[in-house]
Structure 1
Amino acid sequence: MAKSRFDTGAGPSQRQLRVGEAVRHAIAEILARGEVMDEVIASHVITVPEVRMSPDLKLATVFVMPLGGQDAEPVLAALERNRRFLRGELARRINLKFAPDVRFRLDESFDEARRIDTLLQSDKVRRDIARPQGADDNDDDEA
């Protein structure tokens, strides 16, 4: 099977990361300043924790989360309605050959972090982490 020219397997390139961060800052600034004329977006504080760029830099996947995680679906729908405006603003703010097409996804990393914290606080994990009863605190003095 032939490898695709975009399939490096090593993760995103430095350029993808740099452009993704520039797009994230621009989107966050647009949302923070209230430049999008939409009631749903104006009534929520929206966090933009990550932007992933495609290898050709023509597609930006913007991960968003409304503050507190409430009304996530209406916020995503409002961002989708205004994506043409947001793409135009990106084109003005970021110096790229092509303005990337923007798609919005709900950021689930907060839920994953909460799930891991819950697992770490469970009795099974605490029992495994606990110091064995036979261990002596004076082991360091013998060396």
Structure 2
Amino acid sequence: MRKNSIKNTRINGEVQRELSMLINREIKDPRINPLTSVVAVEVAPDLKHAKVYISVLGDEESQKNTLAGLRSAAPFMRGQLAKSINLRNTPELTFIMDQSIEYGVNMSKLIHDVNKDLSNNEELKEDSE
């Protein structure tokens, strides 16, 4: 099975959906930020490992606490995945902080600032002429 096969893509989506539900509804760890979302899941073709990319809305301390809480809850989530998804192997979960959303927001802000500066410079040129 290739890494990006249709079957693997479907498994990735199903695991992502189940983990999102588990994190938001089942896990009661106070370290986990309520604004935690599962951005993507990459399940290995042999179904033994899964990289779970998460995004947390909050400061760096909140992100670290959430990551620690999720890592401690990983065995529980793996057991719940085994019950809800019928797979040959239930993958071992590795949580990775995804900074792409934050990066995108920062880039949008920078672009907005540059555009504002350019429009201010054009107004100054027109006023001086």
Measured in 1, the distance between the counterparts of 2:100 and 2:37 equals: 12
Measured in 2, the distance between the counterparts of 1:37 and 1:26 equals: 16
After TM superposition, the structure 1 = structure 2 runs for residues 1-143 of structure 1, keeping only pairs within 5 Å, are 12-33=4-25, 35-41=26-32, 44-68=34-58, 71-121=62-112, 123=114
**Unpaired segments ≥5 residues, structure 1:** 128-143
**Unpaired segments ≥5 residues, structure 2:** 119-129
Measured in 1, the distance between the counterparts of 2:4 and 2:113 equals: 35
Q: Which structure exhibits the higher relative contact order, with contacts defined as CA atoms closer than 8 Å and separated by 6 or more residues?
A: 2
Whether the aligned pair in 2 keeps the contact of 1:76 and 1:106 (CA below 8 Å) is yes
Whether the aligned pair in 1 keeps the contact of 2:24 and 2:34 (CA below 8 Å) is no
- Aligned sequence identity (%): 28
Q: Name the aligned partner's letter for residue 47 of structure 1.
A: S
**TM-score, normalized by length of structure 1?**
0.69
Whether the aligned pair in 1 keeps the contact of 2:49 and 2:92 (CA below 8 Å) is yes
Measured in 1, the distance between the counterparts of 2:14 and 2:59 equals: 24
**TM-score, normalized by length of structure 2?**
0.76
Q: Tell me: CA distance 1:119–1:45, structure 2 relative to 1, closer, same or farther (3 Å).
A: closer
Cα-to-partner distance string for 1:49-89 (whole Å, 9 max, x where unaligned): 21112222221111112233550011001111111111001
Measured in 2, the distance between the counterparts of 1:104 and 1:38 equals: 16
Q: Tell me: CA distance 1:18–1:69, structure 2 relative to 1, closer, same or farther (3 Å).
A: farther
Whether the aligned pair in 2 keeps the contact of 1:16 and 1:57 (CA below 8 Å) is no
Which secondary structure does the structure 1 equivalent of 2:47 belong to?
Answer: coil
* Greater gyration radius: 1
Measured in 1, the distance between the counterparts of 2:113 and 2:35 equals: 33
Aligned residues: 117
